[in-house]
Amino acid sequence: MKVPTRPLSLMRHVYQDIMPVVHRELDYWQERAAEIPNEELRNQALASIDDKAFHCEGGSIMALAALQHKDTAIRFIVAYQTISDYLDNLCDRSTSLDPFDFAALHESMKDAITIDAKPQNYYRFRNDQDDGGYLVELMQTCQHALLVVVNYKMIVPYINTLCNHYCELQIHKHVNIEERENRLKKWFTDNKTMLPTMEWYEFSACAGSTLGIFSLVSYALRDDFKSIHAAQIYNGYFPYIQGLHILLDYFIDQEEDKEENDLNFCFYYENENELCSRLIYFLKQADNHTKELPNMKFHQLINRGLLGIYLSEQKVHHQADLKLVAKKLLKEGGGYSQFFYWNGKAYRWIKKKKQKHFKK
């Protein structure tokens, strides 16, 4: 097996080798979520899988870089992304606005990438506590997957940094509305010297992706992985590929975030033209930062795939201003983005048909 570098080859491997394993893993976690004794935790765990399974599907494409170890990579990616989506629901949709609560919950993500970390009571600052061992099992599944990563020590500093960025973001962005912007700005100021020129909300977007962690873990499973690859992958994914990922995610969620009064980093651009030009800039920089990566063309396909997957979402076509920006972005992305765009639309259509069939 080789890392795919062409769109057709990539999608063939995704459908044949990746999706069946992803759905097998998700089916297990859905069954476990349904067993959670506490009603609030159970509802949020099930909702996170029902509504955000595509995060696991998309993230698991990175497992193709692990070659023959892809199943181990998928096991880690699905468990880690499930923690992320579950905690996002707990922070977003619960009554808590306590930063200590959010920090305690996200200790599970830090423990998940630390193979000798012991389980803690991650719910210690909230009333809802009894999850039947769900979060600890997710965390330990990640640890067990990392135990077979032969080059684990080489990636530890990099995955720790990416994880810390992610967890800090989740704490700051979920606090009281009056506090969150100032917290995020101060956090950006504290990190500004290590970043290329960007705005505070763009740094926040760069911190909000798990793709760099998934890429590092997948490559570190390989026998031909070298220490130089760890730095290359980290610098390749952070900040620009991760930033492109999350800005696109926020781009398509603008309407519902306005309704829910949720933080959306795309709201801070002066107008649609500035938003479009910055997204194009992030795309170009994401491509530039693949040049030092192993399997450069694979990572460029990831960039084009991000455009296609997000811009093919139905919610884009319900908003005229988003539709216009999407058209410009797809044009900038070229033929490969168009390929992933139509593939994304077809995949969602087939998935919807299957769901309707099973409901009958």
CB 212 within 8 A of CB 238: yes
Tens of pLDDT, residue by residue over 309-358, are 999 988 888 888 889 999 999 999 999 999 999 999 998 888 777 765 55
Three-point CA angle 165, 218, 157, nearest 5°: 40
Reference 134, options 27, 23, 30; nearest CA is 30
DSSP string, 82-93: HHHHHHHHHHHH
Single-letter amino acid code for the residue at 252: I
Query: What is the model's pLDDT at position 357?
Result: 52
Q: Is the pLDDT of residue 360 over 60?
A: no
- At residue 43, the pLDDT reads 96
pLDDT-wise least confident of 3-7, 80-84, 110-114, 312-316: 312-316
Question: Residue 355: its pLDDT value, please?
Answer: 66
Contacts of 66 (CB under 8 A, 6+ apart): 72, 73, 217, 218, 219, 221, 222
d(CA 169, CA 180): 10
Q: Which helix (H) or strand (E) holds 232?
A: helix 227-236
Amino acid identity of residue 228, one-letter, is I
Q: Which amino acid is at 316?
A: V
* pLDDT recorded at residue 143: 98
Q: What is the pLDDT of residues 283-300, one digit of tens each?
A: 999 999 999 999 999 999
pLDDT score recorded for residue 19 = 96
Q: Is the pLDDT of residue 122 over 60?
A: yes
Average pLDDT, the chain: 94
Taking the C-alpha atoms of residue 186 and residue 191, their distance in angstroms, rounded to an integer, is: 9
> CB atoms < 10 A from the CB of 285, how many?
17
SS3 267: helix
The HSE-up count of residue 355 (CA atoms within 13 Å, CB side) is 7
Q: Tell me: pLDDT of 24 over 90.
A: yes
Nearest Cα neighbor of 308 from 333, 277, 273, 283 is: 333
Cα 79 from chain centre: 12
Q: Which residues, in sequence order, are CB contacts of 324 under 8 Å at separation 6+? A: 272
Per-residue pLDDT tens over the stretch 44-103: 999 999 999 999 999 999 999 999 999 999 999 999 999 999 999 999 876 688 999 999
pTM, entire model: 0.96
Q: Which amino acid is at 351?
A: K
**pLDDT > 60? residue 113:** yes
Contact between 84 and 115 under an 8 Å Cβ cutoff? The reply is no
Amino acid making up residue 51: D
Q: What is the DSSP string of 133-172?
A: THHHHHHHHHHHHHTT-TTHHHHHHHHHHHHHHHHHHHHH
Over residues 232-273, the pLDDT tens digits come to 999 999 999 999 999 999 999 998 888 888 899 999 999 999
CA 28 – CA 134 distance, rounded (Å): 11
The percentage of residues in the chain with a pLDDT greater than 90, rounded to a whole number, is 88
Would you call 345 exposed, middle or buried from its count of C-beta atoms within 10 A (0-12, 13-18, 19+)? middle
Angle between helical axes of 211-220 and 227-236 (0-180°, round to 10): 160
Structure tokens at 52: 């955000």
What's the one-letter identity of residue 158?
Y
Quote the CA–CA distance of 148 and 222 in Å, as a whole number. 10
Q: What mean pLDDT comes out for the span 192-216?
A: 97
What does the pLDDT read at residue 103? 97
Mean pLDDT of 224-230: 96
| DSSP 8-state symbol, 117 | P
Minimal CA–CA distance to 214: which of 15, 18, 2, 12? 18
pLDDT, position 349: 83
| N residues, the chain | 360
